[in-house]
Amino acid sequence: MAGTLYIVGVGPGHHDHMTFGARRAIETSDTIVGYETYVNLVEGLLAGKDVYRYAMTQEVERARQCIELAEAGRTVSLVSSGDPGIYGMAGLIYETLIERGWRPGDAPHVEILPGVSALNSCASIVGSPLMADFAVISMSDLLVPWEVILKRAEAAARGDFVIVIYNPSSKKRIHQLRDTRELLLKHRPPGTPVAIVKGAYRESESVVITDLGSMEEHADKLGMISTVIIGNSSTYRHGDLLINPRGYRSKYSLNPPAPQK
C-alpha cells in the first residue's frame, strides 16, 4: 500500500514560526528528506526517524527518493525552508510525479504544508514594505535564462512594484544584482529605500537598511540566504523601518482630534 508524501515548509528556521500543520506532518512521518541545512532546522523533531540529507544541487535526486519511499508505503516529509511552493520543491515533485503517470487522487497521497516564506519573514523584520502591490524575482539563472530574469525585472520596475529579490548573489553569480540595480536606477531615484535581510529569524540574522544608490556597499551581506526588498515610489524610511502606505490617509484621518469635554 502506498504511503504519504508531505512537502513541508518549515518557515524561516525558528520553531516559533512553523505552522502546527508542518510540525504535525514531521512528527507523524517515519522518514525525513531534505537539503541538509533545512533538515538541521528541525533537528529536534527527528528522533527515531530515517533521515536523508542532501547537498544543495541534488533536487532531482531528492524528489525521486521521496516519491519512491512514499510509493513503498512510507510516510515521508520533504522539508523546505520558507514555503515549498515559492522557489521550493513542490513544483519539481509534481513534475516528477506527472512524468510517472500520476494523477490527483492516485497513490501516493501528496500534501503541501505551506510555510512562512522569506518575503513574509523579512518584511516583518523591517516594517511594512509589502503593503502595496509587489513582485518577487529570483536572481538565480541556473534554470531560467538571465535575459528572461532581466526582462521581468524591467517590467516590475516600469510598473512601480515593490520588488523582492530572492537568491541575490552567490560565489559564482556576481553581476546579476549589479545589473538589476543599474536597470532599476533608470526608473527609480538613488534614494529609494532598500532592506537587505540575511538569515531571517536565525542565529545568523543581520539586517541592513540602505538605499538603491548605496546598495552595492553592502555586498558582504548578500548571498543565497539573503533577501532584498526594494521600495517603490511610495516607500519611505522611518528609522530602521521601511513603510509603504496602503492609502488610508487619503480617505481617513489617522489621528482625529480628541472629542471636546
Q: Quote the pLDDT of residue 254.
A: 63
Mean pLDDT (whole number) for 20-25: 96
Write down the pLDDT at residue 247. Answer: 61
pLDDT in tens, 220-237: 778 778 999 999 999 999
> What contacts 166, CB < 8 A, 6 or more positions away?
87, 118, 119, 136, 137, 138, 139, 140, 227
Q: Is residue 14 over pLDDT 80? A: no
Q: What's the mean per-residue pLDDT of the chain? A: 91
Mean local confidence (pLDDT), 28-35:
95
Closest CA relative to residue 162, chosen from 227, 238, 70, 74: 227
Domain ranges, ordered by start, for the chain? 4-116, 119-243
pLDDT of residue 58: 87
Q: In CATH terms, is domain 4-116 a member of 3.30.70.2740?
A: no
Give the pTM.
0.91
Q: Is 37 helix (H, G, I), strand (E, B) or coil?
A: helix
What is the dotted CATH code of the domain comprising 119-243? 3.30.950.10
Instruction: Please give the Cα distance from 116 to 124 (Å, whole number).
Output: 11
The 3-class SS string of 133-202 reads CEEEEECCCCCCCHHHHHHHHHHHHHCCCEEEEECCCCCCCCHHHHHHHHHHCCCCCCCCEEEEEECCCC
For the record, the C-alpha cell of 255 comes out as 489621528
State the sign of the Cα–Cα–Cα–Cα dihedral 98, 103, 104, 107.
negative
Please state, for a pLDDT cut of 90, what percent of the chain lies above it: 75
Q: 55-99, pLDDT tens digit by residue?
A: 877 899 999 999 999 999 999 999 998 999 999 999 999 999 999
Of the two residues 50 and 172, the one the predictor is more confident about is 50
Other CB atoms within a 10 A radius of the CB of residue 172 amount to: 6
Whether residue 82 contacts residue 201, with contact meaning beta carbons closer than 8 Å, is answered with no
Q: Higher model confidence: residue 58 or residue 160?
A: 160
Question: What is the full DSSP assignment across 200-250?
Answer: TTSTT-EEEEEETTTGGGGGGG-STTEEEEE--TT-EEETTEEE---SGGG
